Structure 1
Amino acid sequence: MTTTTTAVRERHILRVHFHLATEDPDLYDALLDVLTTLTPLVQRLPPSAADLDVTGSLRLFDCDAAALGRLLQVRVMALHGVTTSIGAAPNRMLAAMAADATPPGDLTTLPAEPDALTRFLRPRPVAALPGIGPATARTLNKHGIHHLGTLADTPLLTLQRLLGTAQGRQLHERAHGQDPRPVTVQAPAPSLSATHPYDHDELDPAAHRRTLLALTEDLGLRLRTTGQIATTLVLTVRYADRTTTTRSRTLTEPTHHSPALAAAAHDLYTRLGLQRARVRALTLRAEGLLTAQDATRQLSLDPDDDRTRAAEAAADRVRARFGPTAAVPAALARPDRTTSPRLRADARKKEQRR
Structure 2
Amino acid sequence: MTREAGGRPDISRVILHVDMDAFYASVEMARRPELVRRPMYVGGEHRGVVLSANYEARRYGIEGGMPSSRARRLCPQAVAVAPDFDTYQLVSKGVFAILRTITEQVEPASIDEAFLDVTGAIRRLGSPVAIGELLRAQVADEQRVPCSVGIGPTKFVAKLASRQAKPDGLVCVPPGQVVDFLHPLPVEAMWGVGPSTAGKLHQLGLRTVADLAHTPRGTLQRAFGVQLGGSLHELSWGRDARRVVPEQTERSMGAQETFARDTDDPRLVRLEVLRLSARVASRMRRAGLLGRQVQVEVRFSDFTTISRSVTLQGPSDVTDEIFDGAWRAFCRLNLQRARIRRVGVRVEQLVEQDRAFQQLPLDAPDRGMREVELVADEVVSRFGPAAVQRASLTRR
TM-score range, shorter chain: 0.5 to 0.7
Alpha-carbon separation, structure 1, partners of 2:199 and 2:206: 9
Residue of structure 2 in register with 1:337 after alignment:
336
Partner secondary structure for residue 94 of structure 2? helix
- 2:89 maps to which of 25, 34, 46: 25
Residue of structure 2 in register with 1:49 after alignment:
113
Q: Quick check: 2:107–2:247 contact (8 Å CA) kept in 1?
A: yes
Residue of structure 1 in register with 2:184 after alignment:
123
Alpha-carbon separation, structure 2, partners of 1:12 and 1:74: 20
Identify if the C-alpha distance between structure 1 residues 77 and 261 changes in structure 2 by more than 3 Å, giving closer, same or farther.
Answer: farther
Q: Quick check: 2:16–2:118 contact (8 Å CA) kept in 1?
A: yes
Q: Quick check: 1:237–1:281 contact (8 Å CA) kept in 2?
A: no
Q: Quick check: 1:238–1:282 contact (8 Å CA) kept in 2?
A: no
Aligned positions of 1:80-229 closer than 5 A: 80-113=143-176, 116-187=177-248, 190-191=251-252, 207=264
Residue of structure 2 in register with 1:263 after alignment:
303
Partner secondary structure for residue 51 of structure 1? strand
Report the CA distance between 1:192 and its aligned residue.
9.2
- Gaps of at least 5 residues in structure 1 are 1-7, 194-203, 212-235, 249-257, 267-279, 285-331, 340-354
Residue of structure 2 in register with 1:64 after alignment:
127
- 1:13 maps to which of 12, 15, 27: 15
1:312-352, CA deviations, whole angstroms, 9 ceiling, x for partnerless residues?
Answer: xxxxxxxxxxxxxxxxxxxx9xx97357xxxxxxxxxxxxx
Report the identity percentage: 29
Q: Quick check: 1:39–1:52 contact (8 Å CA) kept in 2?
A: yes
Identify if the C-alpha distance between structure 1 residues 119 and 261 changes in structure 2 by more than 3 Å, giving closer, same or farther.
Answer: farther
**What TM-score does the superposition give when structure 2 sets the normalisation length?**
0.49
Report the CA distance between 1:239 and its aligned residue.
3.5
Letter in structure 1 aligned against 2:132: G
Q: Quick check: 2:201–2:207 contact (8 Å CA) kept in 1?
A: yes
Letter in structure 2 aligned against 1:263: F
Alpha-carbon separation, structure 1, partners of 2:300 and 2:274: 28
1:9-54, CA deviations, whole angstroms, 9 ceiling, x for partnerless residues?
Answer: 7210000112322550111011100011110000112221111000
Q: Quick check: 2:262–2:301 contact (8 Å CA) kept in 1?
A: no
- Gaps of at least 5 residues in structure 2 are 1-9, 28-84, 255-260, 281-297, 307-325, 339-396
Alpha-carbon separation, structure 1, partners of 2:18 and 2:106: 10
Alpha-carbon separation, structure 1, partners of 2:141 and 2:329: 39
1:144-174, CA deviations, whole angstroms, 9 ceiling, x for partnerless residues?
Answer: 1111000000000000000001111111000
Q: Quick check: 1:99–1:107 contact (8 Å CA) kept in 2?
A: yes
Partner secondary structure for residue 241 of structure 2? coil
Partner secondary structure for residue 269 of structure 2? strand
Report the CA distance between 1:244 and its aligned residue.
3.4
1:167-204, CA deviations, whole angstroms, 9 ceiling, x for partnerless residues?
Answer: 111110001111111101113784599xxxxxxxxxx9
Alpha-carbon separation, structure 2, partners of 1:105 and 1:162: 38
Alpha-carbon separation, structure 1, partners of 2:305 and 2:335: 20
Aligned residues, how many?
223
Letter in structure 1 aligned against 2:15: I
Alpha-carbon separation, structure 2, partners of 1:36 and 1:131: 29
What CA RMSD, in Å, does the superposition of the two structures yield over aligned residues? 3.9
Alpha-carbon separation, structure 2, partners of 1:124 and 1:243: 49
